[in-house]
């Protein structure tokens, strides 16, 4: 079978937005008539105060629309939104209505305007599909709470006994909730009605104009053939739609070309942090997480892990993995590294030069810190609190990735890995690029074998280092400054 994945994803740079915390605004005056204003709350948490697990900041899609020029100026070409459908929680993983964008976010009308405005800028839009579980407020489950065993929707969920206790924790819930959480009743995916409902939700929003789905905890869905059918029906509407799963570990069983185009690539995240931040990692921010950001690893170990990762899946799928350093489910990389900016810059350099689509968690590009949830979901800061240097290197690295095809679809070859020095090549046709990292605290002078090169990449487009090509062009001498990384390209 020939595996096909969306071509645009191979060239994309993603920006992940947690809608309640990114930006807020009002709908344009000329479009207000008939707009679903919903019940926008008059009482919200102050934007600049630390977030709480249950409070709303009031961010919405109208605010995102106003910031599209900023997002485009970053060089971003795709946005991944955490859930936007109606829900009674700020993160919206408790879905009430899969066909209605939350009124607080601006309703379906705001999403329509956003998609059109994003597409005008050649920016794709990917939504979060929470299809493993719903919420107590989801109509079909609420009917069961009201009517008990007489509900026609009884077999949509996994009811185990009576009476159901949806709120009183002193009594057994008597139904299956995700990870035992009675706020998140799990769908009975073996029920053909449930399966068809979810399939139609997936189709509806593709027809509405979105460019793909990020699937929340898809590994929880055990029904044979479920994700194969989901893929078939999504791709029938848009063959270039992106399907990316939230799977933190080895994902071979889902990345066979019949289900997902990629996953959130935490197998890249952990080693990259462990190598660049090393013993600076705040263990409390990564302990117990489903990715290995500690203990510190050497360049040799990092190279081995990256080569193993690139051999796990077919190359066509490697190019559509969603690579990331952090997300709404983790502490932010700046806080993981205990504020060490060099660690974050080195990690970002590796993110932007690795095969697959890099994803930036909103605010990382301006130096926003944040420990584990809810702190990692802080509001986007005002301009006066931006770290201009961090923003500048993000723009620079994204521009370099967008400029050189080899950094997107070229081969990945480890050239040198010893101590704290890691050097690799990205090669595509005549484009030959060298990326060199020194994560150590001392100057490193190394000789790199370069027999596979047809040219002599010597133009430094990022960072700073001293280079000397031997006359026979089989050795490259690099003098690498401490806690520094560089990108060399051929002219």
Domains and CATH numbers, the chain: 8-132+187-403 (3.20.20.80), 410-489 (2.60.40.1180)
Considering only residues 27 and 187, tell me which one the structure prediction assigns the higher pLDDT: 187
Residue from 20, 246, 326, 432 carrying the catalytic annotation: 246
CB 414 within 8 A of CB 303: yes
How far is residue 254 from each of residues 35, 102, 268, 301, measured CA to CA in Å?
Answer: 40, 30, 17, 26
Neighbours of 387 (CB within 10 A): 16
Exposed/middle/buried for residue 170 (C-beta within 10 Å: 0-12, 13-18, 19+): exposed
Instruction: Give CA–CA dist 486/27, Å, rounded.
Output: 44
What pLDDT, in 10s, does the model give residues 253-271? 999 999 999 999 999 999 9
Full strand arrangement of the beta sheet holding 14-17: 262-263, 242-245, 212-215, 124-129, 78-81, 14-17, 357-361, 322-324
pLDDT, position 471: 73
pLDDT, position 125: 99
Find the mean pLDDT for residues 86-99.
97
Say if residue 250's pLDDT is above 90: no
pTM for this model (two decimals): 0.96
CB 450 within 8 A of CB 473: yes
Look up residue 151 and give its two tokens: 């509900």
Residue from 216, 261, 365, 432 carrying the catalytic annotation: 216
CB 35 within 8 A of CB 107: yes
Question: Of 480, 455, 450, 483, nearest to 467 (Cα)?
Answer: 480
Say if residue 33's pLDDT is above 70: no
Instruction: Give CA–CA dist 447/477, Å, rounded.
Output: 5
What pLDDT, in 10s, does the model give residues 312-359? 999 999 999 999 999 999 999 999 999 999 999 999 999 999 999 999
Q: pLDDT grade, residue 214 (50/70/90)?
A: very high
Q: Please provide the average confidence, as pLDDT, over all residues in the chain.
A: 96
Out of 136-150, 204-218, 419-433, 460-474, least confident range: 460-474
Is 116 annotated in the active site?
no
Is 216 annotated in the active site?
yes
pLDDT, position 409: 98
**Residue in this structure with the two tokens 């890249």, named with its chain if needed:** 268
Q: pLDDT grade, residue 1 (50/70/90)?
A: confident
pLDDT, position 452: 87
What pLDDT, in 10s, does the model give residues 275-306? 999 999 999 999 988 899 999 999 999 999 99
Say if residue 416's pLDDT is above 70: yes
Find the mean pLDDT for residues 196-218.
98
Full strand arrangement of the beta sheet holding 411-418: 411-418, 421-428, 431-438, 484-489, 459-462
Q: pLDDT grade, residue 26 (50/70/90)?
A: confident
pLDDT, position 28: 75
The β-bridge relationship of strands 444-449 and 95-101 is unpaired
Instruction: Give CA–CA dist 194/42, Å, rounded.
Output: 36
């Amino acid at each position: 079978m020939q595996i096909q994945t969306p071509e645009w994803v191979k060239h994309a740079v993603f920006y992940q937005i947690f809608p309640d915390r990114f930006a807020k605004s009002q709908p344009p005056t000329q479009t207000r008539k008939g707009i679903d204003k919903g019940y926008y709350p008059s009482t919200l948490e102050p934007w600049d105060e630390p977030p709480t697990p249950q409070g709303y900041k009031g961010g919405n899609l109208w605010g995102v629309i106003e910031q599209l020029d900023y997002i485009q100026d970053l060089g971003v070409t795709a946005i991944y939104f955490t859930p936007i459908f109606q829900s009674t929680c700020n993160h919206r993983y408790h879905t009430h209505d899969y066909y209605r964008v939350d009124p607080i976010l601006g309703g379906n009308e705001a999403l329509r305007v956003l998609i059109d405005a994003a597409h005008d800028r050649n920016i794709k839009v990917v939504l979060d599909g929470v299809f493993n579980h719903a919420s107590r407020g989801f109509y079909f489950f609420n009917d069961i709470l009201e009517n008990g065993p007489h509900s026609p929707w009884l077999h949509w969920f996994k009811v185990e006994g009576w009476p159901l206790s949806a709120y009183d924790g002193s009594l057994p819930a008597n139904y299956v909730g995700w990870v035992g959480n009675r706020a998140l009743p799990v769908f009975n995916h073996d029920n053909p009605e449930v399966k068809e409902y979810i399939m139609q939700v997936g189709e509806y929003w593709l027809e509405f104009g979105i460019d793909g789905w990020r699937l929340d905890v898809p590994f929880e869905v055990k029904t044979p053939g479920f994700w194969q059918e989901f893929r078939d029906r999504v791709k029938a509407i848009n063959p270039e739609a992106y399907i990316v799963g939230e799977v933190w570990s080895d994902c071979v069983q889902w990345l066979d070309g019949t289900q997902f185009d990629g996953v959130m690539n935490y197998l890249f995240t952990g080693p990259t942090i462990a190598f660049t931040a090393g013993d600076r990692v705040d263990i409390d921010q990564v302990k117990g997480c489903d990715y290995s950001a500690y203990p510190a690893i050497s360049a040799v170990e990092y190279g081995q892990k990256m080569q193993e990762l690139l051999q796990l899946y077919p190359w066509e799928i490697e190019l559509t993995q969603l690579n990331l350093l952090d997300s709404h489910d983790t502490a932010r990389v700046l806080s993981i590294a205990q504020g060490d900016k060099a660690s974050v810059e080195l990690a970002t350099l590796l993110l932007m030069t690795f095969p697959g689509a890099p994803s930036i968690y909103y605010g990382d590009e301006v130096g926003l810190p944040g420990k584990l949830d809810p702190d990692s979901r802080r509001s986007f800061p005002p301009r006066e609190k931006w770290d201009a240097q961090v923003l500048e290197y993000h723009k620079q690295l994204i521009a370099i990735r967008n400029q050189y095809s080899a950094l997107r679809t070229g081969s990945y070859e480890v050239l040198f890995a010893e101590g704290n020095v890691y050097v690799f090549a990205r090669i595509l046709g005549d484009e030959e690029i060298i990326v060199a990292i020194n994560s150590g605290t001392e100057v490193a002078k190394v000789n790199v074998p370069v027999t596979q090169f047809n040219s002599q990449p010597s133009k430094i487009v990022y960072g700073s280092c001293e280079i000397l090509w031997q006359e026979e062009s089989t050795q490259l001498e690099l003098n690498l400054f401490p806690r520094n990384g560089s990108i060399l390209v051929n002219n």
